Chain A
Amino acid sequence: MLEIKNLHVKLEEEEKQILKGVDLTVEAGKVHAIMGPNGSGKSTLSYVLSGRDGYEVTEGSATLEGEDLLEMEPEERAAAGVFLAFQYPVEIPGVGNMTFLRTAVNAQRKARGEDELSAADFLKEVRAKAKSLKIDADMLKRPVNVGFSGGEKKRNEILQMAMLEPKMCILDETDSGLDVDAMKLVAEGVNALRDEGRGFLVITHYQRLLDHIKPDVVHIMADGRIVKTGGPELALEVENNGYADILAEVN
Chain B
Amino acid sequence: MALPEVKQTATEARLATLTMPEAGCTRAAREDALARVLEMGLPGRRDEYWKYTRPDTLISAEQPHAALFHSDEPLLFGNLDRLKIVFIDGVFSAEDSDDLELEGVNIDRIEDICCKDIHWAKELYGVLESRGQSPVQRPLAALNTAFAADGVAIHVTGKPTKPISLIYRHASETSDAMLHHIIRVESGAEVTVLENGPAASRFNKCIEIDIADGGTLHHVRAQGRDHERRAATHMFTRLGQESVYKSFTLTVNGILTRNEQVIELTGDDAIAHVAGACVGDGDFHHDDTVFVTHDAVNCESRQVFKKVLRNGATGVFQGKILVKEGAQKTDGYQISQSLLLDDDSQFLAKPELEIYADDVACSHGSTSGAIDETALFYLRSRGVSVKDATNMLTLAFLAEAVDEIEDEELAEAIVNRLEGWLSRHI
A binds B: yes
Most chain A C-beta atoms within 10 Å of own C-beta, residue among B381, B385, B399: B381
Cβ-defined contact, B381 with A51, below 8 A: yes
CA distance A77 to B377 in the complex (A): 12
Question: Within 8 Å of chain B (Cβ to Cβ): is A131?
Answer: no
Query: Is A92 a contact partner of B375 (Cβ separation < 8 A)?
Result: yes
Measured CB to CB, the closest approach of chain A to B418, in angstroms, equals 12
Q: A73 contacts which of B372, B386, B396, B397 (Cβ < 8 Å)?
A: B386
Q: Which of A100-108, A182-190, A226-234 contacts B (4 or more CB under 8 A)?
A: A100-108
Asked if B343 is an interface residue, CB under 8 A from chain A, the answer is no
Check: A207 CB closer than 8 A to any chain B CB: no
Contact with A74, one of B372, B381, B388, B396 (Cβ below 8 angstroms): B381
* Binary interface encoding of chain B residues 388-400 relative to chain A, with 1 for a CB under 8 A from any of its CBs, else 0: 1100110111111
Asked if B397 contacts A164 (CB within 8 A), the reply is no
Residue A45 at the B interface, CB < 8 A?
A: no
Specify which chain A residues have a CB less than 8 angstroms from the CB of B70 in the assembled complex: none
Would you call B74 an interface residue if the criterion is a C-beta within 8 Å of the partner chain's C-beta atoms?
A: no
When distances are taken between beta carbons in the complex, the residues of chain A under 8 Å from B375 are: 90-92
Query: Which residues of A sit under 8 angstroms from B396, Cβ to Cβ?
Result: 92-95, 143
**Cα-based distance from A111 to B397 in the complex (angstroms):** 27
Does chain B have a CB within 8 A of A67? Answer: no
Given the complex, which residues of A lie within 8 Å of B398, measured CB to CB?
Answer: 94
* Contact (Cβ within 8 A) A78 B381: yes
B380–A90 contact, CB under 8 A?
no
Residue interface bits B73-112, CB-to-A below 8 A is 1, else 0: 0000000000000000000000000000000000000000
B380 with A75: CB separation less than 8 A? yes
Neighbouring A residues of B378 by C-beta, 8 Å: 86, 89-90, 92
Complex interface: chain A residues within 8 A of B379 (CB): 92, 100, 104
CB of B383 within 8 A of chain A? yes
Residue of A nearest to B378 (CB): A90
In the complex formed, the residue of A with least CB distance to B384 is A107
Nearest chain B CB to A166 CB, angstrom units: 9
Q: Of all chain B residues, which has the CB nearest A96?
A: B396
Contact B392 A103 (CB under 8 A): yes
Query: Bound state CA distance, A55 and B268, in angstroms?
Result: 59
Asked if B373 is at the interface of the complex by the 8 Å CB criterion, the answer is yes
Chain B residues near A79 (CB, 8 Å)? 383
Q: Write out the residue numbers on chain B whose beta carbons fall within 8 Å of the beta carbon of A93.
A: 396, 399
B residues near A95, Cβ cutoff 8 Å: 392-393, 395-396
In this complex, the member of A50, A74, A79, A103 whose beta carbon has the largest number of chain B beta carbons within 10 angstroms is A74
Cβ of A116: which chain B residues have Cβ within 8 Å of it? Answer: none
Q: How far is the CA of A95 from the CA of B397 in the complex (A)?
A: 9
How many Å lie between the Cα of A146 and that of B397 in the bound state?
A: 14
Q: B382 at interface (Cβ–Cβ under 8 A)?
A: yes
Q: Name the A residues within 8 Å of B392 (CB-CB).
A: 95, 99-100, 103
B411, chain A: closest CB distance, angstroms: 14
Q: Is the CB of A51 within 8 A of B373?
A: no
CB distance from B297 to the nearest CB of A (A): 34
**A111:B383 contact, CB within 8 angstroms:** yes
Given A74-B377, A103-B388: A92 in contact with B393 (beta carbons within 8 A): yes
A53 at the interface (CB under 8 A from B): yes
How distant is B243 from chain A, measured CB to nearest CB, in Å? 30
Interface hits, B341-392 → A, CB 8 Å: 372-375, 377-386, 388-389, 392
Which of A53, A89, A99, A143 touches B373 (beta carbons < 8 Å)? A53
A78 and B382 within 8 A (CB): yes
Given contacts A74-B377, A90-B375, A94-B400, contact A104 B395 (CB under 8 A): no
The reply to whether A78 and B377 form a contact with Cβ atoms under 8 Å apart is no
Which residues on the B side are within 8 Å of A83 (C-beta)? 381-382
Chain B neighbourhood of A77, CB < 8 A: 381
A52 within 8 A of B: yes
Asked whether A75 lies within 8 Å of B383 as measured between CB atoms, the reply is: yes
The reply to whether the CB of A133 lies closer than 8 angstroms to some CB of chain B is no
Chain A residues near B382: list those with CB within 8 A: 78, 83, 100, 104, 107-108, 160, 164
The reply to whether B393 and A78 contact each other, CB–CB distance below 8 Å, is: no
Is the CB–CB distance between B384 and A103 below 8 Å?
A: yes
Closest residue of chain B to A105 (Cβ to Cβ) is B383
The smallest beta-carbon distance between B399 and chain A, in angstroms, is 4
* CB-CB nearest in chain A for B398: A94
CB interface residues, A 75-128, toward B, < 8 Å: 75, 77-79, 83-84, 86, 89-95, 99-100, 103-104, 107-108, 111
A51 touching B400 by the CB < 8 A rule? no
Given A51-B380, A52-B377, A94-B399, does the pair A75, B393 have CB atoms closer than 8 Å? no
Chain B residues closer than 8 Å to A107, beta-carbon distance: 382-385, 388
Bound together, the chains give a CA A160 to CA B378 distance in angstroms of: 12
- Whether the Cβ atoms of A164 and B393 lie closer than 8 Å is no
Q: Once the chains bind, are B393 and A74 in contact (CB under 8 Å)?
A: no
Note all chain B residues with C-beta closer than 8 A to A73: 380, 386
Contact A75 B386 (CB under 8 A): yes
Min CB distance, A111 to chain B, in Å?
7
Answer whether A75 and B384 are a contact pair too, CB < 8 Å, given A52-B377, A100-B379.
yes
Report A-chain residues with C-beta under 8 Å of the C-beta of B384.
Answer: 75, 103-104, 107
A141–B379 Cα distance when bound, in Å, is 17
Binary CB contact string for chain B from 227 to 256 against chain A (1 if under 8 A, 0 otherwise): 000000000000000000000000000000
Looking at the complex, which one of A90, A91, A108, A143 makes contact with B383 (CB distance below 8 Å)? A108
Interface membership of chain A positions 43-58, coded 1 if the CB is closer than 8 angstroms to chain B and 0 otherwise: 0000000111100000
Closest to B385 in A: A75
**Interface bits A30-62 vs B (CB < 8 Å: 1, else 0):** 000000000000000000001111000000000
A/B interface sample: 11 pairs, CB < 8 A: A50-B381, A51-B381, A52-B377, A52-B381, A53-B377, A75-B386, A90-B374, A92-B372, A99-B392, A103-B388, A104-B379
Q: Mark A residues whose CB is within 8 Å of B.
A: 50-53, 73-75, 77-79, 83-84, 86, 89-95, 99-100, 103-104, 107-108, 111, 143, 160, 164
> Besides A94-B398, A95-B396, 8 other CB < 8 A contacts?
A50-B381, A53-B373, A86-B378, A92-B375, A93-B396, A107-B384, A111-B383, A143-B396
The 10 closest A-B pairs by CB, nearest first: A94-B396, A78-B383, A104-B382, A108-B383, A74-B380, A90-B378, A94-B399, A107-B383, A95-B396, A75-B380
